[in-house]
Amino acid sequence: MKDSTIPPHQNTPLEENRQGEVLEMTQQAEVYGNNGKKFYIESYGCQMNFSDSEIVASILNQEGFAITKDYMEADLILLNTCSIREKAEDRIRKRLKELNVVKKQNSDTIVGILGCMAERLKTKLLEQEKLVDVVCGPDAYRDLPKLVGEAETGQKAVNVLLSREETYANINPVRLDNAGVTAFISIMRGCDNMCSFCVVPFTRGRERSRNAFSIVAEAQDLLDRGYKEVTLLGQNVDSYKWTNPETQEVVNFAHLLEMTALVSPQLRVRFSTSHPKDITNEVLHTMAKHENICNYIHLPVQSGNSRILDLMNRTYDRDWYKERVEAIRRIIPDCAISTDVIAGFCSETEEEHQETLSMMEYVKYEMAYMFFYSERPGTLAARKYEDDIPLETKKRRLREIIDLQMQHSLERNQADIGKTFKVLVEKVSKKSPDDYCGRNDQNKMIIFPKGESQVGQYITVKVNECTSATLKGEIVEYL
Ligand code: SAH
Ligand code: SF4
Ligand code: F3S
């Protein structure tokens, strides 16, 4: 292995703990390339990007590229990028500069940028900043081998065309998480909601739903290969809608959930993300009906104030959101709810910020991803509203939100002490090699001494202690 002058990833700050984070990749060791070339891929941003990297890996494998975990030996280095906040893009620029060191050592190495930043900046990174050889947007991954071929002959290769149809339905993703217990399944792409702060509709294009049978077949295939949990992914899963071309029958998200749950009682089903305007009682009843659909809903609120929600173009108000939370509590009494919050959106007053805090008090979220507003070029908010909240104010409001959430997470976790939960054993705990960790139905991570348990097995754990982030317990039953 050649020496590396590239520093390891730095930890991300608390407010950047989901989108914008490097999703850790324990790459599959399988090396089934036959063209003598190796590629390395890093994923940033949301779970959908991580899932896309698995599609990219499959497309490149088909063309004979092998996967490597070591970018120093790669012929092709790919970054699957995120544009959601300015900081997310800054990190990628920094990373690209670091990776240019590899190019200096081996001028044949091709560096490619994929995902949302590729889509947003198009040829800019290639022409003005001269940081990459290949630019490939989220709907153009089938074209990637051709683009790499062009780059190898010294041409600059770009495809950022968005599609109305592409769902990669027939591509069997190469699973990059080698634990083999949990997997993501993309059920749709793009987003048709025009939340005024959000860049996703511009980087991912129009919303389209994937063939329901291909989704169920993927879940079945995963089960056959020993997987025990699938997470159905979309920016707004509740607007999933697929029409069977043969029968004209319409499959909505509630139907799809049920179809996936029926694959096997042994296969847990999760999903993300739900939009408060679209989550239906039908979905909630389907969750309540099937034991293997996990009782956990990520329901981003963004703000607790109706005027700000209107400016954000979220198309619901405070009362609507509260009613949806009540419906969840009524239909699925033990359902955990988490959220996303944006502090300091354009023109937000102190009173309006207080309403976000009071909404948090009302729901007492199990967990939250919290950000301060970052203006994104081209979005509705950037065009219509002034980004007028001073950075210090944004940061102070965010801090108040984070502090309150820490308190709520702790309270919620403390309420679990003494209870027992069914847990899927996922992996060795980062903190201790003698412990495993896994999540309960409510998506809470629980750490426990390994005992006789094995990764991929269901067990029952009794919770004995907690912090605001995790629960600790002991195995009481092997299932
Ligand atoms: N589709 C999901 C969210 C996807 S983006 C939904 O509608 O809920 C993930 C989160 O990033 C958002 O929920 C929002 O809280 C945050 N986010 C998006 N754009 C942002 C911006 N410009 N500044 C700060 N946070 C932003
Ligand atoms: Fe962005 Fe809104 Fe679509 Fe979510 S629903 S991806 S926040 S536009
Ligand atoms: Fe980021 Fe694109 Fe996901 S902007 S959050 S990677 S859809």
Query: What CATH number has the domain bearing residue 446?
Result: 2.40.50.140
CA 337 – CA 165 distance, rounded (Å)? 32
Is position 63 within any domain?
yes
Is position 272 within any domain?
no
- Residue 157: CB atoms within 10 A of its CB come to 22
Is 119:160 a contact under the CB 8 Å cutoff?
yes
Domain edge (last residue) among 159, 191, 223: 159
Name the residue among 194, 183, 155 with its Cα closest to residue 380: 194
What is the CA(82)–ligand 3 centre distance, in A? Answer: 5
Ligand 2 binding pocket, CB closer than 6 Å:
191, 193, 195, 198, 200-201, 235-236, 275
Is position 39 within any domain?
yes
Is position 43 within any domain?
yes
Domain edge (last residue) among 159, 182, 210: 159
Query: Counting atoms of ligand 3 from 1, which one is nearest the CA of 116?
Result: 2
Name the residue among 67, 206, 95, 78 with its Cα closest to residue 144: 78
If residue 471 lies in a helix (H) or strand (E), which one and from where to where?
A: strand 471-478
- pLDDT computed for residue 253 by the predictor: 98
Domain that holds residue 54: 15-159
Q: Which residue, by CA, sits nearest to atom 1 of ligand 3? A: 82
What is the CA(374)–ligand 1 centre distance, in A? Answer: 10
Number of domains composing the chain: 2
Is position 129 within any domain?
yes
CA 335 – CA 320 distance, rounded (Å)? 19
Domain edge (last residue) among 127, 159, 191: 159
What is the CA(45)–ligand 3 centre distance, in A? Answer: 5
Is position 256 within any domain?
no
Beta strands in 126-266 (DSSP E): 134-136, 157-159, 182-186, 188-189, 208-209, 229-233, 241-243, 250-252
- Residuewise pLDDT in 10s, the chain (479 residues): 333 333 333 323 333 333 433 333 333 334 456 788 999 999 999 999 999 999 999 999 999 999 999 999 999 999 999 999 999 999 999 999 998 888 888 888 999 999 999 999 988 888 776 789 999 999 999 999 999 999 999 888 999 999 999 999 999 999 998 789 999 999 999 999 999 999 999 999 999 999 999 999 999 999 999 999 999 999 999 999 999 999 999 999 999 999 999 999 999 999 999 999 999 999 999 999 999 999 999 999 999 999 999 999 999 999 999 999 999 999 999 999 999 999 999 999 999 999 999 999 999 999 999 999 999 999 999 999 999 999 999 999 999 999 999 999 999 999 999 999 999 999 999 989 999 999 999 999 999 999 999 999 999 999 999 999 999 999 999 99
- pLDDT computed for residue 10 by the predictor: 30
**Residue with tokens 């991929």, as numbered in its chain:** 456
- CA dist 222 to 170, 182, 225, 272, 439, Å? 15, 9, 5, 19, 19
Is position 238 within any domain?
no
Is 396:442 a contact under the CB 8 Å cutoff?
no
Q: Which amino acid is at 470?
A: T
Best of 18, 186, 188, 193 for a ligand 2 pocket test (most atoms within 8 Å of beta carbon): 193
State whether the beta carbon of 275 lies less than 6 angstroms from ligand 1.
yes
Is position 209 within any domain?
no
CATH number for the domain harbouring residue 66: 3.40.50.12160
CA 355 – CA 352 distance, rounded (Å)? 5
- CA dist 293 to 240, 257, 287, 426, Å? 17, 8, 6, 17
Largest alpha-carbon pair distance within the chain?
64
CA 335 – CA 333 distance, rounded (Å)? 6
What is the CA(69)–ligand 3 centre distance, in A? Answer: 23
Beta strand pairing status for 296-298 and 336-343?
parallel
